[in-house]
Amino acid sequence: MSSLDLAMDEAPLSRFHTKSVITAGMGFFTDAYDLFIIGVATTLITPLWHLSSSETGLVNSITLISAFLGAFIFGRLSDVLGRKKIYGLEALLMVIGALASAFAPNFAFLIVCRFVLGIGVGGDYPMSATLMTEFSNRKNRGKLVGLVFAMQGLGTVAGYIAGLTLLSAHVSTDLTWRILLGLGALPAASVLLMRRRMPESKRYSEKVLGKGSKAATDIESYSDGIVNLKADQKDSRVGPTGYMKLREFLSNPKYLLLLLGTAGTWFVFDYAYYGNSVSAPLILKSVLGKQGASVLTEALALQLIIFSIAALPGYYLATHFMDRIGHRRLQWIGFIGMGTAFLLIGVIPNVTTMITPFLILFGISYFFAEFGPNTTTFVLSSEVYPTRARATGNGISAGVAKIGAFIGVYLFPIIKTDLGITGALKLSFGMAVIGLLLTLLIPEPAQKSLESISSTEIVEAAEQVIKGTSFVSEQS
């Protein structure tokens, strides 16, 4: 480990970290707003444009498919070209996609706009996660990276509030969905300049480019001297190694096994989470058993209450405790909690006709999603890969996850029609069980230096699965 690594790992929390969290986090505020508000927008658009169920499903999910491309492309470019050179471009795509969506004259145009938006959304995952991970200290890395992702919760709440405000004000249906989609451009636009001014990752500069001294100076300038590295810490003795070739990364069995863990857990989680969340208005309308225009407002209000009471605290409790609990262990806890809630909804007779019990169980599933895999899949995927391929591994994992989200969003209405809400949530329970098992493939990185998360630990994690080691005996 170089002296620069040690200095960054042991640096106390400062305004530099806060500034970085806000700059990176506003992208996730935008991501959440754009991804979850579309469920409300399509409920309004469908009768106006006479969309079929497949067309509605495509509008809801097309952003998630293009997010797969964005995550892989931006993740790879970040390792090849550097973090700083392309950071902010993904936010620009989000601004363009959101604004253009608001002026869509027809179905085809809207699909194209949402596709462009998804490229930016997907690109934001590896870019923001990687930079925040590499700027963080060892002791608080989970907290800092988790806080970036927790902005998703605020973005989701903002979307619900915007929808309720416009619906309650009786704004015309056509204008309401356009305003809702267009508002997604504002938070991304607010941090464009801040992102372009962020310094290059010190770890990337030192290990890939061999320019640790330049990186240290840039960080001091960006932080207005708050992060003041000593002269001897600026002298990097680490020679440049260059980025890891994609073939080298994908042909290494250890990294493929790790990808199965990070991408696999994220895939099954996003299948369940996005399928349930984007279709939440549909679920709640079904549980309420009502028809008519006012039911959407009532369902949206219930969703806001559930999310604010159950999900939002989950995000911030996760960031507060994850470095003490352990990142991998918290993921286990979350999968067990949300999976149990899904199973109970699926097996308790007539629970979907009893509003209060259903809302309690639905809320519990939301809490453990945030106090667990929704936060930890993001954090873990940014920690466990080497600097030379960190954004690549993170980008592939995030991209695969968005395929899971696409499948969940697209298929949920179909599965609900065939199997009912209980059947759809039983399937989500199965996904949680798979996620619990795949988590065994990931080493525990909490409180460890990024450089000390070795390939040996990856192999040991895999051996636990082979030997059938219980997660109960896992040592943090």
For position 93, what pLDDT does the model report?
Answer: 95
With 0-12 CB in 10 A as exposed, 13-18 as middle and 19+ as buried, what is 437?
Answer: middle
Number of CB atoms found within 10 A of residue 387's CB: 24
| Residues 6 or more apart whose Cβ sits within 8 Å of residue 265 | 331, 373, 377, 380, 435, 438, 439, 442
Helix (H) or strand (E) run with residue 118 in it: helix 107-135
Instruction: Provide the pLDDT confidence category of residue 282 given band limits of 50, 70 and 90.
Output: low
Q: Which pLDDT tens digit goes with each residue over 335-344?
A: 999 999 989 9
Query: Is residue 476 in some structural domain?
Result: no
Q: Which domain holds residue 312?
A: 3-469
With b meaning 16 or more CB within 10 Å and e meaning fewer, what string describes 247-286? eebeeeeebebbbbbbbbbbbbbbbbbbbbbbbbbbbbbb
| pLDDT for residue 275 is more than 90 | no
Query: Is residue 410 in some structural domain?
Result: yes
Token pair, residue 340, equals: 């149990």
Query: Is residue 474 in some structural domain?
Result: no
Token pair, residue 228, equals: 């003041």
- pTM confidence score: 0.85
Query: Is residue 8 in some structural domain?
Result: yes
With b meaning 16 or more CB within 10 Å and e meaning fewer, what string describes 59-98? bbbbbbbbbbbbbbbbbbbbbbebbbebbbbbbebbbbbb
Domain of residue 410, CATH code: 1.20.1250.20
Query: Is residue 118 in some structural domain?
Result: yes
In order, the DSSP letters of 282-317 are: HHHHHHHT--STHHHHHHHHHHHHHIIIIIHHHHHH
| pLDDT for residue 92 is more than 90 | yes
| Residues 6 or more apart whose Cβ sits within 8 Å of residue 452 | 1
CA distances from residue 455 to 183, 238, 443 in whole angstroms, order as listed: 44, 20, 9
Distance CA 144, CA 322 (A): 11
Fill in the DSSP letter of residue 389.
Answer: G
CA distances from residue 295 to 71, 299, 444, 448 in whole angstroms, order as listed: 36, 6, 45, 50
Q: Which pLDDT tens digit goes with each residue over 388-425?
A: 999 999 999 999 999 998 888 777 777 766 777 778 88
Token pair, residue 51, equals: 């969309």
**Cα 211 to the chain's mean position, in Å?**
31
Query: Is residue 475 in some structural domain?
Result: no
Q: Which pLDDT tens digit goes with each residue over 307-324?
A: 899 999 999 999 999 999
Number of domains in the chain: 1
Number of CB atoms found within 10 A of residue 348's CB: 14
Q: Choose among 383, 407, 381: nearest CA to 395.
A: 381
In this predicted model, which residue has the larger pLDDT, 88 or 350? 88
Q: Which pLDDT tens digit goes with each residue over 185-226?
A: 998 898 888 888 888 888 888 878 777 666 667 666 666 555
In this predicted model, which residue has the larger pLDDT, 8 or 214? 8
Number of CB atoms found within 10 A of residue 154's CB: 18
In this predicted model, which residue has the larger pLDDT, 33 or 290? 33
How many Å from the N-terminal Cα to the C-terminal Cα in the chain?
22
| pLDDT for residue 473 is more than 50 | no
Percentage of residues in the chain having pLDDT higher than 70: 83
| Residues 6 or more apart whose Cβ sits within 8 Å of residue 120 | 70, 90, 91, 92, 93, 94, 95, 96, 97, 188
Average pLDDT, the chain: 84
**Cα 431 to the chain's mean position, in Å?**
17
Query: Is residue 103 in some structural domain?
Result: yes
Instruction: Provide the pLDDT confidence category of residue 362 given band limits of 50, 70 and 90.
Output: confident
**What are the respective helix, strand and coil percentages of the chain, to the nearest 5?**
80, 0, 20
| pLDDT for residue 472 is more than 50 | no
Helices (H), 235-389: 246-250, 253-278, 280-288, 294-306, 312-325, 327-347, 355-370, 373-383
Distance CA 185, CA 355 (A): 36
